[in-house]
């Protein structure tokens, strides 16, 4: 990976939350990782492994207690439009149409209306929502809402995309379909992506590289897998299943 | 590939039921008075009220003003007071919900004034403004501003924190989050306030007119009492009811139009 351009660097990051006023809960400890340009990095871990907190720190929504985050060589100090977030809950403006939701970031930056519309249309088409520009979120299915979320993040042309279990609320079939769509969208327009999930199949289907988190708090990196599986991938391919078994065997279930 | 639109029909029974309910109510009322079950000195029948209404349209006796003049006084007072409470209460509540400085500054005073019933202000307003328009507008303003402030405040406070985080990641400033996220998401609560404030304004208007006035629908009711004329009392009550219902209906329609995107 040394020949690739470094995008995001996370160095010795730790975070402890204070719960109920006085209880210290160490959430992540001493995380160091690098993300390279146009790479699809998956952070895989069960619930309560600190992976979402790590992503929030990348987004600037949480401050690390120790350690530093640098994006494109500059330290991350707060939230900003250079990072595009897609949340598990769809987080659309209920009173805005699909188009207006996708235009959000552009509008906040003061992009002129005509250019805004053109950009928004491009990404609405890219995520497959052509014809739904004037619909309101409540008229859309869960999968479609998350497409709007992805289009909104893409349209803002962030330096890096951060996706936090984006398909966690979808049913199994829609989820698999959205994985295929995500792979298609990403191959059509390459971006640097950090994708957080608790789903091994999802990780294997999408990732160039998987960072596996330890299954308990405080979250630490257990190991890393580099996937050189050809795309488009199949959920039932031989290499896919071999790796799936390897990762499953390496993950202990915490109940 | 938009969805196809269809017309959904309501069952006939559900369409006629509200009308049937009204007809039954007035029919029973008429019968009760007509057959002397309740003596006419205590309650007027709907037909008597209607006759009085038609008479009062042009006749200023015995209470000093025609129906139209009474209604106009009340509507003026209510509308001015209501409008003032919206114009001041809603922005104040919204600002208190988002800006800590506004909350710290106004909340204590507001909490102190809030539990005082608006009618308790009547003696003071008579000192300050006499029994004319200004005093009543002040009472109505006090009555209407409370739900406006509370609902707007709570509406802003209930804005999804994750939505606020999302807006921050898109580089939205505090002011942009307030105007483009908090206010729209508070709108359903604010419209609730419009309805609530109207109810408060209207009831307190009548109460204020009962105590200190020389015209208006509340004054008409008082005069009916003093003159021993149940038909005038009931006429005043019905006018208050119908006008309130009409204004409420109009606000409801406006709300439905404006909030088309939020309602499911």
Instruction: With beta carbons less than 8 A apart as the criterion, state whether A102 and A152 touch.
Output: yes
Q: Please answer yes or no on whether B162 and A60 come within 8 Å at the CB atom.
A: no
In angstroms, the CA B35 to CA B43 distance is 12
Q: Can you give the pLDDT at residue B2?
A: 65
pTM: 0.76
Nearest to B169 among A61, A95, A138 (CB): A61
| Contact flag B171-A109 (C-beta cutoff 8 Å) | yes
**Over A95-144, what HEC string results?**
CCCHHHHHCHHHHHCCCCHHHHHHHHHHHHHHCCCCCCCCCCHHHCCHHH
> Could you give the CA distance from residue A14 to residue B109 in angstroms, rounded to a whole number?
44
Taking CA–CA distances from A158, the nearest residue in chain B reads B170
ipTM of this predicted complex? 0.77
Q: Of A83, A94, A131, which has the smallest distance from its Cβ to B262's Cβ?
A: A94
Secondary structure letter of residue B59 according to DSSP: -
Report pLDDT for A3: 63
Q: How far apart are CA B38 and CA A207, in angstroms?
A: 84
Instruction: With beta carbons less than 8 A apart as the criterion, state whether A141 and A129 touch.
Output: no
The SS3 of residue B205 is helix
Record the tokens describing residue A46, joined without a space.
């069960």
d(CA B52, CA B50) in angstroms, rounded, equals 5
Q: How far apart are CA B47 and CA B185, in angstroms?
A: 48
Packing angle of the helix pair B217-227, B67-98 (nearest 10 deg):
130
Decide if A120 contacts A102 (C-beta within 8 A): yes
Backbone angles phi, psi at A239, to 5 degrees: -65, -35
**pLDDT value of residue A42:** 95
Q: At a CB cut-off of 8 Å and minimum separation 6, what does A245 contact?
A: none
Would you say A153 and A161 are in contact if contact means Cβ atoms under 8 Å apart?
A: yes
Token readout for A157 is 């042309």
Contact A45, A75 (CB under 8 A): no
Q: How far apart are the first and last CA of chain A?
A: 36
List the structure tokens of B32: 């009760």
Rounded Cα–Cα distance for residues A41 and A53 (Å): 16
Contact A58, A8 (CB under 8 A): yes
- Residue whose pair of structure tokens reads 């999930």 in the numeric block: A197
* Block residue for tokens 């146009």: A38
* Secondary structure element (H or E) that encloses residue B224, with its range: helix B217-227
Q: Tokens representing A115? A: 């250019």
CA B168 to chain A, closest CA, distance in angstroms equals 6
Gap between the Cα atoms of B221 and B177, Å rounded: 49
Task: Say if B2 is an interface residue toward chain A (CB within 8 Å).
Answer: yes
Instruction: With CA atoms as reference, report the closest residue to A58 among A211, A170, A208.
Output: A211
Q: Which of B44, B218, B46, B53 is nearest to B135 (CA)?
A: B218
In the prediction, which pLDDT does B264 show? 42
Helix (H) or strand (E) holding B220: helix B217-227
| A20 vs B: CB within 8 A | no
Q: Give the total residue count for chain B.
A: 264
d(CA B92, CA B112) in angstroms, rounded, equals 16
A residues 38-97 lying closer than 8 A (beta carbon) to B: 59-61, 79-81, 83-85, 87, 89, 91, 93-97
Distance CA B264, CA B259 (A): 10
Token pair recorded at residue B248: 């409420």
Written as tens digits, the pLDDT of chain B (264 aa) is 567 788 888 888 888 998 999 999 999 999 998 888 888 888 888 888 898 888 888 887 777 788 888 888 888 888 899 999 999 999 999 999 999 999 999 999 999 988 999 889 988 988 998 888 888 899 999 999 999 999 999 999 999 988 998 888 888 889 999 999 999 999 889 988 888 898 888 888 888 887 777 888 888 888 888 888 888 899 989 888 888 888 888 888 887 777 665 544
Per-residue pLDDT of chain A in tens (255 residues, 90 and over written 9): 456 889 999 999 999 998 887 888 899 999 999 999 999 999 998 888 889 899 999 999 899 999 999 999 999 988 888 898 898 888 899 889 999 999 999 998 889 999 999 999 999 998 889 999 999 999 999 889 999 999 999 898 899 999 999 988 888 888 888 898 899 889 888 899 999 999 999 999 999 999 999 878 888 888 898 988 888 888 888 888 998 888 888 886 554
**Which helix or strand (DSSP H or E) is residue A146 part of?**
helix A142-155
Location of structure tokens 């109460």: B207
Are the Cβ atoms of A94 and B261 closer than 8 angstroms?
Answer: yes
Q: Is A110 on the interface with B (CB under 8 A)?
A: no
Which element (helix H / strand E) includes B253?
helix B230-258
User: Across the interface, do A104 and B170 touch by the CB < 8 Å criterion?
Assistant: yes
**The A83-86 sheet, strands edge to edge:** A83-86, A160-164, A193-197, A40-44, A209-213, A221-226
């Amino acid at each position: 990976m040394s020949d690739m351009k470094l995008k995001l660097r996370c160095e010795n990051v730790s975070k402890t939350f204070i719960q109920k006023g006085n209880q210290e809960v160490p959430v992540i400890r001493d995380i160091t990782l690098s993300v390279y340009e146009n790479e699809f990095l998956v952070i895989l871990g069960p619930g309560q492994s600190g992976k979402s907190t790590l992503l929030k720190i990348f987004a600037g929504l949480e401050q690390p207690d120790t350690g530093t985050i640098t994006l494109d060589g500059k330290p991350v100090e707060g939230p900003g439009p250079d990072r595009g977030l897609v949340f598990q809950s769809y987080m659309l403006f209920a009173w805005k149409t699909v188009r207006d939701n996708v235009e959000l970031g552009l509008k906040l930056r003061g992009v002129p209306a005509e250019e805004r519309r053109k950009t928004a249309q491009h990404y609405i088409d890219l995520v497959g929502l052509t014809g739904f520009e004037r619909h309101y979120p409540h008229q859309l299915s869960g999968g479609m809402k998350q497409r709007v979320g992805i289009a909104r993040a893409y349209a803002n042309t962030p330096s890096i995309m951060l996706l936090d279990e984006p398909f966690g609320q979808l049913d199994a079939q829609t989820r698999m379909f959205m994985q295929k769509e995500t792979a298609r969208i990403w191959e059509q327009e390459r971006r640097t992506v950090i994708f957080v999930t608790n789903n091994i199949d999802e990780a294997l289907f999408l990732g160039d590289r998987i960072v596996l988190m330890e299954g308990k708090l405080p979250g630490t990196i257990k190991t890393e897998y580099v996937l050189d599986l050809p795309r488009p991938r199949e959920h039932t391919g031989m290499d896919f299943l071999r790796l799936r078994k390897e990762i499953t065997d390496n993950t202990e279930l915490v109940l | 590939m938009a969805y196809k639109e269809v017309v959904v029909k309501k069952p006939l029974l559900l369409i006629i039921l509200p009308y049937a309910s009204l007809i039954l109510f007035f029919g029973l009322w008429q019968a009760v008075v007509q057959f002397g079950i309740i003596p006419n000195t205590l309650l007027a029948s709907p037909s008597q009220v209607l006759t009085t209404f038609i008479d009062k349209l042009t006749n200023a006796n015995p209470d000093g003003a025609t129906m139209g003049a009474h209604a106009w006084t009340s509507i003026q007072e209510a509308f001015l007071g209501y409008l003032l409470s919206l114009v001041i209460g809603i922005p104040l509540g919204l600002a208190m919900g988002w800006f800590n400085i506004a909350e710290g500054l106004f909340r204590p005073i507001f909490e102190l004034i809030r539990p005082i019933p608006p009618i308790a202000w009547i003696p003071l307003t008579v000192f300050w403004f006499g029994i004319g328009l200004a005093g009543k507008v002040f009472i109505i303003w006090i009555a209407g501003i409370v739900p406006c402030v509370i609902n707007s405040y709570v509406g802003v406070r209930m804005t999804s924190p994750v939505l606020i985080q999302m807006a921050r990641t898109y580089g939205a400033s505090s002011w942009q989050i307030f105007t483009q996220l908090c206010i729209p998401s508070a709108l359903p609560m604010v419209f609730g306030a419009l309805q609530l404030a109207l109810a408060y304004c209207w009831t307190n208007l009548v109460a204020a007119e009962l105590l200190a006035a020389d015209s208006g629908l509340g004054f008409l009711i008082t005069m009916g009492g003093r003159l021993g004329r149940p038909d005038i009392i009931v006429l005043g009550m019905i006018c208050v009811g119908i006008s309130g219902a009409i204004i409420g209906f109009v606000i409801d329609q406006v709300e439905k139009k404006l909030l088309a995107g939020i309602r499911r």
